[in-house]
Structure 1
Amino acid sequence: MRSSDYYVPSAFLALVFVAKLPALVRGRNNPLIRSVCALVATAGLCFFFGAPPTISAVNELTGIPNVSGPLVYMIMGVFDCSCLVLIVNWRGGPPDRVRRRTRQWIAVYAVATVALPVLFFLGEAPEERLRDLDTYYATTPYIREMIVLYLGAHLLSATVTTVLCLRWARHVGGWLRAGLTVLVCGFVLNWAFGATKLTAVVAAWLGGDLSALSTGAAPPVAAVGALVTAVGFLLPLVGPGLDDQATAWTSYRRLAPLWRLLRTTPGEVGGPAGESWWASPRTRRTVRETLIHDRLLTLGPRLDDGVRRRARELAAAEGASARDAEAAGLAAMVRAAVADAGTGTAEPEPAASLGWGVSAGAAALTAAVRPGNGGLVPLARAVGRSEPAGGGTGRAGVRRPPPVRSAR
């Protein structure tokens, strides 16, 4: 692999870690957040310290040949432990059992991580090897045990996390299941990395030479596996936000017919913020909903409940459902009010009032589209269906109301 093949994943994971820092500061006592950050950080450090230029620099700086080997293996041990701890805390369960399993895995990997440098300094590895330390010293006492220990710890973590994710994925859905599925792929790649390395080491024990597996095949598999694993952990975190933005964008687009009708009314103001190209879908939807509510409020005195009732009865007679018929009636009433406002006539006094000067038509519209009940989208859909198409009839078969308000 080229040096960039190590440093590019390391830089990507560093960006992910920086993005998670605010969450770590806010939830520093949350083991789940700590585990996510530890996993991302150690994965990035593995790539950074595993790059040949970094290996050479660390060896030269310390004056100890191959000391980068146990350093990288220790970081890998922390990464493997972080994966296990994260899955245990993420899956949840009785707090006592979660804490007990977390401590057990931390204890196991703490012992293995501490043993790695001890075994390295007990052995002898005088010749610097930047890429093939595993296979070159595969038969050297103590160095051999160090290599087997780090590969065994890595394979154990990859196996256990894969099994746990597979079992968990059967009982959940949505973004969590998608994240677990991606995680399984990442952990399988991590397992493949360890198995490839171990195969090359065993071949060296038997007198063969499969070092190309260790130096050529294993590193790319590890790079892809780490990135896939990071994506798998991030999907359940960012997925709901993506869903929310997609829902907001869909609602924003569905409100377009109603917005086109209302913004053509003389005296209409506002709207640039909702149409700004840099605004998020949620902001666009909120601004459009606010402007629509404001404009409907100004139309209140012109809303004729008689138009609404007649259009609703006509739609119901033509086979529309109760909900669609009510939306068709409201759409007809709003169209009539917009047409009346377009004539420039003064606002009439409401003939049918429910008190405090509120007309029956305004009260019906307010009840249907009050903020939070999602009534604007059905109204916008009905307005779109009642738009002129080849005459005075909308696509739903409901006749367009007259351009002026009916007599009260």
Structure 2
Amino acid sequence: MEGLDFYIPGAALAVAFACRLPGFSRSWRDPLLRSVSALLLVAVSVFFFAAPPTIAAVNRITGIPNFSAPLVYCILTAFSASCLVLVINWRGGPPEVTRRASRRTITAYGAVIVAMIVLFALGDAPVERLRDLDTYYANTPYMREMIVLYLVSHTVAAVVMSVLCRRWSLVVHGWLRTGLVLIMTGYFLNIGFDAVKYTAVSARWAGYNLDWLSTRVAPPLASASALIIATGFILPLVGQRLADAWRKWSTYRKLGTLWRELRSAAPGGTAAVRISLWSSLDLRLTQREAFIHDGILALDPYFDHALRADSHAAAHAHGAGADEADAVAEAAMLAAAVIARDADPQGTIITSADTRAALPKQAQRDLVGMSRALRHSPVVAAARRRCAARSESSHP
């Protein structure tokens, strides 16, 4: 189908815009989010209205040959303005300074749009050109100036965006850096697109014909740049969400050993809680962590802090670091407390108030480390065996 080289990247940018909508709806007052959303929306319009089938349809509907030319150029100029406004907001600074710079940019590019409309009205372009208008009318008065004006404004924005993304990519990491590198790559291709257009138009000025550069080389460059830029905008958002989801799922799974260890110690009301199969991962993780904390509180009277100190020393002797030793010691004390609780079905053990102590906050924060120690630590296994043997000897 003719025009797919325009519609496909336009659809990719539409997907990027759709991915930004949830964040935009929550924080629509954020100038940066507004700038990103405006840029993506204008970029979608560029590729839709620049497609030859759309150009022909617009010309036919308006009844003006080449009416699509100033329309597409104006949208391209608006895209360039959107890029620069995004640069201004990314750069940050005092809000009033940022707003003033944004207004100046919009005003300047608005003047360019008005100038292009006037130049088209003054020019003479009676022959409809769907793909090669840039070169066909390269020597036509007023049309020539309009073509150069849109190319220059587009180039300025592409260069500035490339420089900004490169500088920013040097000071950030992770998904954001990857996205910035992709955006920068896309804008480098945009500069290549402009260079090809300049070459084809300049060749016409010099009396040569290199129209194939404008009609065959430039469109693929524009499509590739759009797809890469769209990916660059989408990746930090989607990638971060996927990374967060994986981290939560990994934490939920790693807490399984500790959760199973404490099921018999958890209060009956907590153990009875059920959630839907369709419940979110956040809810599942929150419930599991709450379940574990309730189990820890229920075991508090059975904690043997001397055993904890011995297990801490043993973990250090096995080469564990400070954090790992804390997790191993807490896990050993928990495992022993579960056995002690099972050996006291009537709940006759009473610990004085001054000797009862909840788990240290650091251990409570490292639930994953405790769960790992319950599964793998030989220190925990040894503490479990000693406590089980002691329980059997006290209940022949």
TM-score normalised by L of structure 1: 0.83
Correspondence for 1:247: 247
Give 1:157 shift.
1.1
Aligned residue pair count:
391
Cα distance per residue 1:89-111 (max 9 Å; x no partner): 11112445433432332222111
Partner amino acid, structure 1, of 2:373: A
Residue number in structure 2 paired with 1:227: 227
Over 3 Å counting, the alpha-carbon distance change for 1:315 and 1:175 in structure 2 is closer
Aligned ranges 1:272-283 → 2 under 5 Å: 273=275, 276=277, 280-283=280-283
Aligned to 1:403: 388
- Which residue of 380, 383, 386 corresponds with 2:374? 383
On the 8 A contact 1:7/1:48 being kept in 2, the answer is yes
| 1:376 positional shift | 0.9
In 2, are the aligned partners of 1:307 and 1:401 still within 8 Å (CA)? no
- Structure 2 distance, partners of 1:24, 1:367, is 37
2:11 partner letter: A
- Secondary structure of 2:66's counterpart equals coil
Matching residue of 2:12? 12
CA distance in 2, matches of 1:308, 1:22: 48
- Whether 2:345 is the aligned partner of 1:354: answer no
1:259 has 2:253 as partner: no
- Give RMSD over aligned pairs: 3.2
Alignment of 1:14-29 (within 5 A): 14-21=14-21, 23-29=23-29
| AA matched with 1:380 | S
- Which amino acid in structure 1 is aligned with residue 178 of structure 2? A
Q: CA deviation at 1:227?
A: 3.0
Distance 1:193 1:221 in 2: 6
How far apart are residue 119 of structure 1 and its match?
1.3
Say if 1:155 and 1:194, in contact at 8 Å, map to a contact too: yes
Query: Any residues of structure 2 matched to 1:202-213 within 5 Å, and which?
Result: 202-213=202-213
| Structure ranking higher in helix proportion | 2
Opposite residue 388 of structure 2, the aligned amino acid is P
> The residue matched to 2:348 in structure 1 has which SS?
coil
Cα gap change, 1:179/1:15 in structure 2, threshold over 3 Å: closer, same or farther? closer
> 1:340 touches 1:404 (CA, 8 Å); kept in 2?
no
Cα shift at 1:48: 0.8
CA contact (8 A) 1:302 1:337 kept: yes
Partners of 1:273 and 1:401 lie apart in 2 by 37
Aligned pairs (5 A) from 1:88-127? 88-127=88-127
The alpha carbon displacement at 1:82 in A equals: 0.4
Contact 1:6/1:48 (CA < 8 Å) preserved in 2?
yes
Letter matched to residue 286 of structure 2: T
Inter-CA distance 80–375: structure 2 relative to 1 (3 Å threshold): same
State the shift of 1:32 in Å: 1.9
Q: Cα distance, 1:176 vs. partner?
A: 3.9
| 1:365 equivalent in structure 2 | 359
User: Which sections of structure 1, spanning at least 5 residues, go unmatched?
Assistant: 387-392
Report the Cα offset of residue 74 of structure 1.
0.5
Mapping of residues 6-405 of structure 1, within 5 Å: 6-21=6-21, 23-237=23-237, 240-263=240-263, 269=271, 273=275, 276=277, 280-342=280-342, 345-350=345-350, 352-355=351-354, 360=356, 363-365=357-359, 367-370=361-364, 374-386=365-377, 393=378, 400-403=385-388
Give the deviation of 1:56 after TM superposition. Answer: 1.1
TM-score by length of 2: 0.86
Q: Contact 1:336–1:404 (CA<8 Å) still a contact in 2? A: no
Following TM superposition, by how much is the alpha carbon of 1:222 offset from its aligned partner in structure 2, in angstroms? Answer: 1.2
Paired residues of 1:255 and 1:377 also in contact (CA < 8 A): yes
Classify the secondary structure of the residue corresponding to 2:386: coil
Q: Which amino acid aligns with 1:147?
A: I
Is contact 1:81-1:157 (8 Å) kept?
yes
In the alignment, residue 365 of structure 1 is paired with which amino acid?
L
Residues 10 and 43, structure 2, Cα contact 8 Å, conserved in 1: yes
One-letter amino acid of the counterpart of residue 109, structure 2: Y
Between the aligned partners of 2:77 and 2:53, the Cα distance in structure 1 is 22
Q: CA deviation at 1:136?
A: 1.7
Moved more, 130-139 or 83-92: 130-139
| Matched residue type, 2:167 | R
Q: 1:353 is matched by which residue type in structure 2?
A: S
Corresponding residue of 1:389: none
Name the amino acid aligned to 1:256.
G
Distance 1:155 1:319 in 2: 60
Runs of 5+ unmatched residues, structure 2: none
Question: 2: distance between equivalents of 1:309 and 1:212?
Answer: 80
**Offset, 1:343:** 5.5
Change (3 A) 1:222 1:166: same
Secondary structure, counterpart of 2:103 in structure 1: helix
Matched position secondary structure for 1:401: helix
Structure 1 residues 291, 84: closer, same or farther in 2, change over 3 A?
A: same
AA paired with 2:372?
R
Q: Distance in 2 between matches of 1:253 and 1:110?
A: 55
**Distance of aligned partners of 1:271 and 1:201 in 2 relative to their CA distance in 1, 3 Å threshold:** farther
